[in-house]
A and B are shown apart, each in its own frame.
Chain A
Amino acid sequence: MQTIIEFANTIFSPLINLGAAPMMFILITLFALLMKVKFSRAVEGGLKLAIALTGIGAVIDILTGNFAPALKDFVKSTGIELSITDVGWAPLATITWGSAYTLFFLLILVIINIVMLLMNKTDTLDVDIFNFWHLSITGLLVMYYSNNLFLATILVTVLGVMKFINADAMKPTFNDLLDMPDSNPTTTTHLNFMLNPLIMLFDKIFQKLFPFIDKYDFDAAQLNEKIGFWGSKFAIGVYLGAFVGLLGQQPVQTIFTLAFIGGVALELFSVVGTWFIAAVEPLSQGITNFLSAKFQGRKFNIGIDWPFLAARPEMWAAANVIAPIMLVIALFLPGNGILPLGGIIAIGLTPALLVVTRGKIMRMIIIGTIMVPVFLWSGTAIAPFVTETAQSVGAFPAGLESGALITHSTLEGPVEKFIAIIVGRLGESFTLKNILIAVGSLTAYIGLFVWYLKEMKKRNAEYARQKEDVDAA
């Protein structure tokens, strides 16, 4: 046994010691080759990932280097303890793809997909390999607390299975929302839709108590046009930079610098984000080729990234309206440490609102507002983990003073992050209290999901009836 471990160490230690970017360059390239991707395409993917990791580090450096001191003054002059920098989704995704465990969780999820398809437990073939990082970061969170790969794998497996079931359950709603014919196979397994059960709970309450609210629905497309560029990434970066500068009582020159750096950072995060999605692209194609060859002839839905839903203007209108509300909530919410910046346009929240309410814009805004604290608390809770992981993959400025934290204010799967923390704490020490908390919260989480599934089945039966009526007419 000892010799095996020593042997593994002599092979892997030099690789790990190289640092995250070189290590992932080598691993992604090898993994793609294993999936029979052409050599040049495999290397292209590996290099892009290394460049993305390095690039994200550089942008975080620019952002936190300038914002961290100003945020400190902001806290001093306002007394509001919001010192965690909100870097949005791209750095978190990159950091997660900078961990070799992500490839392990990826493998687990592909196996789950194959097994569920073989057992006819799902009709969804997931080709959105890139977004597997959402479950990987949840698994990494478990390991941050417990260093227990077994527990992390179990949680990832449970959530993975639930996501496939959810993708099937939402399919008729997607057809309805986007006017897609039944022959269109588009669906998604994205983690953001695991918030559907909680949203549906509130939606039912509204249905019972305040049904009149729907009368105030407005034309979302027109609102979006009026908002125009004022709601674009760089503009939001500029406002928030100026906001921090003003309240932090910085000199005029610094206020301008913060405003423009905010704009630059938000734009650059998504530019670097595109590199790194491109990096996973050859691998995704390889896995898809493998899977579709395996299931030749079988009819299935295909799981892609969520943005096909963005065709509905309500999604943007809700995100635009919720952004300023989130800023105000962040200022006053007890237990929140985040000043929203990179994640203030809550695209991790509004697609789920759209699916549950089916585009009822007033409900989307009100229930969305109720959900904001869940995201802020979750983002605050994972900040130490995110910061430490960023440091370990070398995507965090070394010169920054200790205590500076980063996170994402609207990271998809806020409830799952709490579950991961609870499971992680259980792994850290198996006390009776921790066991009870874990069993209790998992029961509540899965119970709510089962109730939601029942409701979705009712909804889908209704869709089927409507179609029969149309066919009969």
Chain B
Amino acid sequence: MIKILAACGAGINSSHQIKSALEEEMKKRGYKVQADAVVIKDITKEMVEEYDIFAPISKPKFSFDITIPVVEAGPILYRIPAMSAPVFDEIESVIKKMNK
């Protein structure tokens, strides 16, 4: 099971779209993925470390370093398949590297 942390500014709209899109598409591609959606503001170092991949809406700046792979997932929100495909591909290649 791959755990993904999706994040956006309100934790209500964009991050939930990222979460459901990632879960749906990765399931289609044959991976077991579980994503959570949170507000960027509430993210702590400890929280990030519980996940395998960090998928924020855009590159956030924290007071600490992110040690897990980061995939920017904003393009998913354009709702246009050709534009979201590269995000899914990148997530897939990160998962493959993990050998989980």
Query: Which residues in A have some Cβ–Cβ distance to B below 8 Å?
Result: 90, 127, 130, 178-180, 184-186, 219, 221-222, 224-225, 228-229, 231-232, 270, 273-274, 277-278, 281, 284-285, 288-289, 292, 302, 304-313, 315-316, 347, 351
Q: What are the 3 closest A-B residue pairs judged by CB atoms, nearest first?
A: A310-B9, A307-B9, A307-B8
Pick from B42, B58, B60, B80: contact of A292, CB below 8 A.
Answer: B80
Interface residues in B1-25 (C-beta closer than 8 Å to A): 8-17, 20
| Chain B positions within 8 Å of A127 at CB level | 77-79
> What's the least CB distance linking A234 to chain B, in Å?
11
State the CA gap A310–B69 with chains docked (Å): 20
| A222 cross-chain contacts in B, Cβ below 8 A | 63
Which residue numbers of B lie inside 8 Å of A, CB to CB?
8-17, 20, 37, 39-42, 44, 56-64, 74, 77-80, 83
Cα-based distance from A130 to B78 in the complex (angstroms): 13
Contact call A304/B77, Cβ cutoff below 8 A: yes
| A288–B63 touching, CB < 8 Å | no
Quote the shortest CB–CB distance from B49 to chain A (angstroms): 15
B78 A308 Cβ-Cβ under 8 A: no
| Residue pair A307, B15 in contact (C-beta under 8 Å) | yes
Q: How far is the CA of A180 from the CA of B37 in the complex (A)?
A: 23
Nearest A residue to B40, CB-CB: A310
In the complex, A6 Cα to B64 Cα: how many Å?
66
Find A305's partner among B13, B20, B64 (CB 8 Å cutoff).
B13
Q: B23: shortest Cβ distance to chain A, in Å?
A: 13
Query: Count the A-B residue pairs with Cβ separation under 8 angstroms: how many?
Result: 105
Residue of A nearest to B64 (CB): A225
* Contacting pair B61 A277 (CB below 8 A): no
Cα A281 to Cα B21 with chains together (Å): 11
Q: What are the residues of chain A within 8 A of B63 when measuring CB–CB? A: 219, 221-222, 224-225
* In the complex with contacts A228-B44, A270-B11, A308-B57 CB distance below 8 A: yes
CB neighbours (8 Å) of B20 from chain A are 278
List, sorted by A's number, 9 A–B pairs whose CB atoms are closer than 8 Å: A224-B41, A231-B41, A284-B79, A289-B79, A306-B9, A307-B57, A311-B9, A312-B60, A313-B61
Q: A274-B12, A310-B40, A351-B9 are in contact. List 5 more A-B contacts (CB 8 A).
A: A221-B62, A305-B10, A305-B13, A306-B9, A308-B74
A315 to B11, CA, bound (A): 15
In the bound assembly, the distance between CA atoms of A473 and B38 in angstroms comes to 41
Given contacts A224-B63, A225-B63, A292-B80, contact A308 B58 (CB under 8 A): yes
Complex Cα spacing A80 to B62, Å: 40
The answer to whether B62 touches A270, judged by C-beta atoms less than 8 angstroms apart, is no
A289 to B44, CA, bound (A): 37
What B residues does A178 contact at CB under 8 A?
Answer: 58-59
| Residue among A222, A232, A305, A316 with max Cβ neighbours from chain B (10 Å) | A305
Inter-chain contact B14/A308, CB cutoff 8 Å = yes
Which residues from chain A contact B77 at a C-beta distance below 8 Å? 127, 304-305, 308
**Chain A residues within an 8 Å CB radius of B61:** 221, 311-313
> In the bound complex, do residue A179 and residue B59 qualify as a contact, i.e. CB atoms below 8 Å apart?
yes
* A10 vs chain B, min Cβ distance (A): 38
Chain A residues within an 8 Å CB radius of B17? 281
Find the B residue at minimum CB distance from A347.
B10
Q: Are A311 and B80 in contact (CB under 8 A)?
A: no
Q: Which residues of A contact B8 (CB under 8 A)?
A: 307-308, 310
B74 touches A288 (CB 8 A): no
